[in-house]
Chains A and B, each alone.
Chain A
């Protein structure tokens, strides 16, 4: 079954760090675009970052310099390293596949992993 499974969320203090993982099944991270999208409690969706099949990466201005997306092709997994976390980073973080169905459309989503930044 084609799926993405996130893990690594939790409670962290402001200024702290966390690494999220997105394990991919039935397709390869090396041939697809994988994005992170977050949703603060009771709010809409916000695009965070994307890693393209060629390994290039892009970020939302709100996270640039603090969050880093990467991948391990051997593990077929995408990561989001989160540093210098702020209260406003509190959200459910989804990984999603993009670029397979249409332009800039996310056709497969994980179930999400919750990140709470609080003292």
Chain B
């Protein structure tokens, strides 16, 4: 069982927006602004899409955005495109007495 909770699946049609949630506790997501999101296509390594809740690495389209409210972080993908179909994983810092990071179980995003 993963430390962070994500829905197993999400879907949307091309051009639409979809939001994926990632729920933790006061000890991880709620306590720090160190949430990251990773995109993983089948058979490929994860790719960093969002770090520190809202920041995008260079090269990541601004269609991808992150937010946090309380113990829940969210990744929103706007203007869905076929190539956005992938697994998305969230992670969070959980304090110096805990694992380096904790991950969610991943969400399979399907573009209908």
Contact = CB atoms under 8 A, between A and B. Distances in A.
Contact of A44 (B89, B92, B101): B89
Nearest to A103: B34
A45 B103 contact: yes
Interface string A55-90: 000101100000000000000000000000000000
Given A45-B38, A45-B89, A107 B57 contact: yes
Contacts of A50: 100
B93 interface: yes
Given A45-B91, A107-B48, A109-B46, A102 B103 contact: no
Nearest to B44: A111
Interface residues of B, number: 25
Contact of A47 (B34, B103, B105): B103
16 contacts: A35-B100, A44-B104, A44-B105, A44-B106, A45-B106, A46-B103, A47-B91, A94-B45, A96-B46, A104-B100, A105-B34, A105-B52, A106-B46, A109-B47, A111-B45, A112-B45
Given A94-B46, A103-B52, A104-B100, 18 more contacts: A43-B105, A44-B104, A46-B103, A47-B101, A96-B46, A101-B48, A103-B34, A103-B51, A104-B36, A104-B91, A104-B101, A105-B48, A105-B52, A105-B91, A106-B46, A106-B48, A107-B57, A109-B47
Interface of A: 35, 43-47, 50, 58, 60-61, 94, 96, 98, 101-107, 109-112
